[in-house]
Amino acid sequence: MRATAALLLLLAGIATGMSAHAQELPRKVLILWDSSVTTRWRETFAHLMLEMPLNRLGYVVEPVDVAKPMPPVSVLDGARAIVAWLEADTVPDARAAFAFIDAASARGLRFVQIGDPAYLRGRDGRTNVALAEANRVFSRAGFRLAEDFVRLTFDVEVLNKEPALVEYERPLDRLLPPFPVWRPADSRTRSLLVLRRRGQPDTESHVIMIGPGGGLASFGYSHFYEPELRRRQWRIDPFAFLAEALGAGGGPVPDVTTIAGRRIFFSQIDGDGWRNVTEIEPWKRRRKLSSEVILDEVLRAYPDLPVTVAPVVADLHPDWCGSDETRSIARRMFALPNVEAGSHTWTHPLDWGFFDAPDVEAKERPFLRRYPGCRSEPSRIAALIDRIKRKFTDLRDEPDSGEEFDGQYGTIGSYNTPRSFAKRPFSIHAEIDEAAAYLTTLAPPGRGVPIVQWSGNTLPFEAVLAATRKAGLRNINGGDTRYDSEYDSVSYVAPIGRRVGAERQIYAAGSNENTYTDLWSDRYFGFRSLRETFERTGAPRRLVPVDLYYHIYSGEKEPALKALIGNVEWARSHELAPIRTSQYAAIAEGFYSARIVREGAGTWRILDRGALQTIRFDPPLDTDSVDLERSSGVIGFRNDAGALYVALDPAVAEAVVTLGGRAPAGRPSLRDSRWPVRGLQFTADGFTFETAGFGPGEMRWRAVPDADYVVTPAGGEPVAAKAGRDGTLQFVLPPVDGESVHVSVNGPVR
């Protein structure tokens, strides 16, 4: 029987092109959290701070709620590690939570402890797990817990400290937090921070450690948090700490920041403010709408950058607040080659969670009197009058739900309503399917609407996400990534997305002008600070793509429009690869689906990657090149931003990447390109490929040094190009407005 099973496995490997020794790399990391302490996963430190560094290391995070029954051990299949970051010192069912950790650790999963080991104590305050039993599990990771606890720290001295790893963004405080006594349990365990009360050797505690099976960062030493200002910073270096604790680094990582060797650029506009009359002269006197200002001053002025424009249907539809003018602007926008049509829903929900209820119509009824109608020019005076009226109106028939709904369409913060328009009861089908269908009627034939951009608080619930997926639409928004002088921590860089039940929301890669303008109430120039986030998330590590995300109402005020155009100019002056927003969302989905199979030393097969076309290798590396002879489905590679980025061919479903080696003499490979490349083929006379993009088609290939080549785009004129002494063959294809073009490169020309 065993021989038969082995033969079947061998045959299966041959059938899929994989060797019998192939091993799929585990990409899942389970994080324990407690919904009885922090109600929503998205509000936990684990999501806000830890998930992004784990994503960058290539891991997909799966939250496990200890306030609910523990999942079956089968959830551990395909997992690399389990992380406990619980925001209290007890849990509802300590025995169950500890048993889950024990089972994971026994199966060889790495274990990372951040903060208190709350799973040792139940809500009754009793110790439910004996110290000896706990240390049996801790020792697998390489550390153990003693009975002592140091409460007074006025005389604590630092015996050992690795500043780069334990004071990453914030130095240790003069008065240190209390700490339990942790000790190494393995000779291979590395202590990063060791403390002790002066003259009391029994109090020596290794509060930050990395062991052979995981890592530890004791409470108060992993990060800093100031609750009143909600300010947070890392103390530990999350990238280095997690890489070592999880045994990561060096291996292939599905990368969402880069395509064809360049950092990705994409841009999306939410339709808020579509009907607002601009305040910018001379257009104000002509009562020009903000949407038309954006059309003329941004979309038409910069055809080299793709933008996804997502109106709210209620602003366009004749039965709601639309007009011939608002629909005409949408048609003119959608007709531009660089504009992709998106949907910002039908009625612009502000608080999505409000509608996750069985009888939404009855729940919303008390709020119906608050809806503002169809004013085309919301003003501060009107908003003030409305607030005064609400204050003195008898609202005794309105039940106090205990909820506030922030935001009013176009004038954020003026009204308390769960959505911006309410001429009919809320319907998921209307917000997703009907909205996309209506907006498609305004787009040129064949263009359609491929994506939904979440409105309001950008927190869709599971049923809405499921409806989006079933409608064949991508989704994006939320996250609000910032990394600048006001948000001075990498912890404000959001992860790729978030798990919502069985569905997944894709986050925007940057914040919009709302967070820079005090919810569109002040500092209308503030969006110019976005450039600092672009730069700080690009080096020394490339963390996210460049995402220029804003609202139509940026065309309402002159400082806002100037700030926006400054951000556009920044993007045009940098070496980026502009793509459509729906393409980025598809790439992000590919991150979650991708599978990586090790087929031998230095060789990996990449499967189920969807639209994701870049694999990254981080240092330390034995080589900085790809063995193109032993690889397949690889277009090229580039060393950039401290890593090796390997560009895969979208035309090849299963790519094989082998590091090392040298390219055969004369064999071309892509270094970087402004336009994505696919279908690379070699011919007797040179090579061919398909490409499409916006703006000039700048490309650099590795070729024969000092050799002459002829580049011919289909339907275009041949252009001579010469490789430099280092073998770089550089040429620029004429703009094609996003249309695909076949390119032939002949050479070397003798």
Residue 236 located in a structural domain: yes
| pLDDT tens by residue, 504-560 | 999 999 999 999 999 899 999 999 999 999 999 999 999 999 999 999 999 999 999
Regarding whether 201 and 89 lie in a shared domain, the answer is yes
Beta bridge partners of 82: 30, 111
CA distances from 443 to 449, 471, 472, 572 (A): 8, 18, 17, 26
pLDDT at 393 over 50: no
pLDDT in tens, 91-115: 999 999 999 999 999 999 999 999 9
* CB count in 10 Å sphere of residue 668: 24
Strands 339-341 and 23-24: unpaired
Nearest to 271 by CA among 352, 324, 341: 341
Provide the token pair at 533. 């986030």
Is the separation of the CB atoms in 421 and 348 below 8 Å?
yes
Most confident region among 219-233, 298-312, 617-631 by mean pLDDT: 298-312
Last residue of a domain, one of 209, 224, 249: 249
CA angle at 426 for the pair 425 and 428, rounded to the nearest 5°: 140
What is the rounded distance in angstroms from the CA atom of residue 112 to the CA atom of residue 109?
Answer: 10
Q: Nearest Cα to 602, choosing from 657, 562, 672, 553?
A: 657
Could you report the per-residue pLDDT of 412-446, keeping only the tens digit for each? 334 488 999 999 999 999 999 999 999 999 999 99
Mean pLDDT, to the nearest integer, of 491-497? 98
This prediction's pTM: 0.92
Terminal C-alpha separation, the chain? 62
pLDDT score for 749: 82
CA separation for the pair 544, 534 (Å, rounded): 9
Residue 616 and residue 581 in one domain: no
Give the Cα separation of 590 and 594 in Å (integer). Answer: 6
Pairing of strands 603-607, 576-578: unpaired
The b/e string for 212-233 (b: 16+ C-beta within 10 A; e otherwise) is: ebbbbbbbbbbbbeeeeeeebb
CA distance 651 to 9: 28
Does 128 map to a domain? yes
Task: Single out the residue in 585, 619, 640 at which a domain terminates.
Answer: 585
Measured between alpha carbons, how far is 731 from 720 in angstroms, rounded to an integer? Answer: 9
Query: Mean pLDDT over residues 701-712, rounded?
Result: 96
Amino acid code (one letter) for 145: L
Instruction: Classify residue 9: in a domain, yes or no.
Output: no
With bands split at pLDDT 50, 70 and 90, how would you rate the model's confidence at 626? Answer: very high
Sign of the four-CA dihedral 248, 249, 254, 256: positive
pLDDT given at position 17: 53
Radius of gyration of the chain (CA): 28
Residue range 349-386, pLDDT digits in tens: 999 999 999 999 999 998 888 887 785 443 333 344 44
pLDDT for 125 equals: 81
Same domain for 406 and 539, yes or no, is yes
Residue 394 has pLDDT above 80, yes or no: no
- Contact, 337 vs 442, CB < 8 A? no
Question: Does residue 709 share a domain with residue 624?
Answer: yes
Residues 39, 76 share a domain: yes
Q: Do 279 and 415 reside in the same domain of the chain?
A: yes
Look up the CATH number of the domain holding residue 64: 3.40.50
Sign of CA dihedral 451, 456, 459, 464: negative
Q: Is the dihedral of CA 249, 253, 259, 263 positive or negative?
A: negative
As a whole number of angstroms, the distance between CA 45 and CA 87 comes to: 8
595: in domain: no
**Residues 362 and 425 placed together within one structural domain of the fold:** yes
CB-count burial class (<10 Å; 0-12, 13-18, 19+) for 150: buried
Quote the pLDDT of residue 54: 98
Long-range contacts of the stretch 220-227 (C-beta < 8 A, 24+): 220/176, 220/177, 220/178, 220/179, 221/166, 221/177, 221/179, 221/193, 222/114, 222/115, 223/45, 223/49, 223/491, 224/170, 225/45
CA distance 345 to 415: 19
Beta-carbon contacts of 663 under 8 Å, excluding residues fewer than 6 positions away, are 625, 628, 629, 669, 702
Q: What is the pLDDT of residue 401?
A: 39
Q: What is the pLDDT of residue 249?
A: 74
CATH classification at residue 556: 3.20.20.370
Distance CA(354)–CA(419), nearest Å, equals 9
Decide if 98 is inside a domain: yes
Angstrom distance (rounded) from CA 110 to CA 96: 19
- Token pair 């040792």 is found at 120
Q: Are 614 and 255 in contact (CB under 8 A)?
A: yes
Residue 597 inside a domain? The answer is no
Distances (CA, A) of 287 to 137, 298, 325, 581: 70, 18, 12, 31
Reported as a single tens digit per residue, the pLDDT across 168-210 is: 999 999 999 999 999 999 999 999 999 999 999 999 999 999 9
Q: Work out how many domains the chain is built from and give that number.
A: 3
Q: Does 220 reside within a domain?
A: yes
Nearest-5° Cα angle at 476, 471 to 478: 135
Out of 554, 585, 616, pick the residue that ends a domain.
585
Residues 230 and 311 in one domain: no
CA distances to 53, 168, 358, 559 from 491, in Å? 9, 12, 36, 29
pLDDT top residue among 452 and 7:
452
The pLDDT value recorded for residue 19 is 59
Q: Which residues contact 392 (CB under 8 A, 6 or more apart)?
A: none
Q: Which tens digits make up the pLDDT trace of 627-684?
A: 999 999 999 999 999 999 999 999 999 999 999 987 666 689 999 999 999 999 999 9
Range(s) of the domain holding residue 107: 17-249
CA 347 to chain centre: 26
- pLDDT of 597 strictly over 50: yes
pLDDT of residue 324: 97
So what's the pLDDT on residue 153? 95
- Split at pLDDT 50, 70, 90, the class of 251 is confident
Angle at 460 between CA 458 and CA 462, to 5 degrees: 160
Are residue 552 and residue 693 in the same domain, yes or no?
Answer: no
Say what the pLDDT of residue 391 is. 46
715 shares its domain with 627: yes
Residue with more model confidence, 164 or 662? 164
Q: Are residues 500 and 615 in the same domain?
A: no
Helical residues (DSSP H) of 116-228, grouped into ranges: 131-141, 163-166
Q: Quick one: average pLDDT of 221-249? A: 94
Say whether both 579 and 483 belong to one domain: yes
At residue 285, the 3 state secondary structure works out as helix
176 is a domain residue: yes
